[in-house]
Amino acid sequence: MLCENCHPDKAYIEKTDHDLIITAPSSKNIIDQTPAESGTCGVCHLVHNGRNQIKLWAQSFGEGDSLMDTLCNACHSEKGSAKNKIPLISTHPVSKIVNLERIYKGRSSRIPLFHKTTGEPVRAGEISCPSCHNVHQWNPESKSKGEGVNREGNATTSFLRSRSSILKCKDCHGVDALFRFKFFHDPGKRKK
């Protein structure tokens, strides 16, 4: 991939569930290209001829209260390419969080926060989908590309940003944090 030359940390998406060449080969971006025509990155980002300047977004926008959620929900929706992977609950209760970075065993425990309307990283804001999920890397412990198959994830993979042992969620939720993290998308097990 040409994009990998400048964005090597984003190239881990190749051959994962977010590589639509593997999981949704007949889907199309906003300029009517299939994943095979646009390439793995061109499904979501258009460097040339794109209508959207924000994140060079190559899809429509989905539902959501923040820009970052609308990007994710473009595919994870009834009409999207990930219509079989729609989270039952996909939003965190609205509350401002101030990001104070801590290092735990040599790793950052900072939760990425994004501006509600621009999607730019911020130090204080609300939790959105990419606060917990890194769409470009299937397993936070493995900096590698995928296996080329559509996999069912679990509480340690599924494009999660970090392992539960370094959860910043503990700052607000205490001992309940692991439970809330693991069952965030499950309304039957999630605490109100």
DSSP string, 143-161: -S---SS-----TT-TTBS
Q: What pLDDT is stored for residue 162 in this prediction?
A: 75
Q: What pLDDT is stored for residue 161 in this prediction?
A: 83
Q: For 153-170, write each residue's pLDDT tens digit.
A: 877 788 988 765 556 777
Strand partners, 45: 57
Domain definitions of the chain by residue range: 3-182
Residue pointed to by tokens 């299937």? 138
Q: What pLDDT is stored for residue 191 in this prediction?
A: 59
CA distance 58 to 4: 18
* pTM attached to this predicted model: 0.87
Q: For 32-79, write each residue's pLDDT tens digit.
A: 999 999 999 999 999 887 788 889 999 999 999 899 999 999 999 999
For residues 22-37, average pLDDT: 96
Q: Are 55 and 46 in contact (CB under 8 A)?
A: no
Q: What pLDDT is stored for residue 68 in this prediction?
A: 95
Is residue 96 predicted with pLDDT exceeding 90? no
Q: Are 126 and 115 in contact (CB under 8 A)?
A: no
Strand partners, 108: 103
- Tell me which DSSP letter residue 112 carries: P
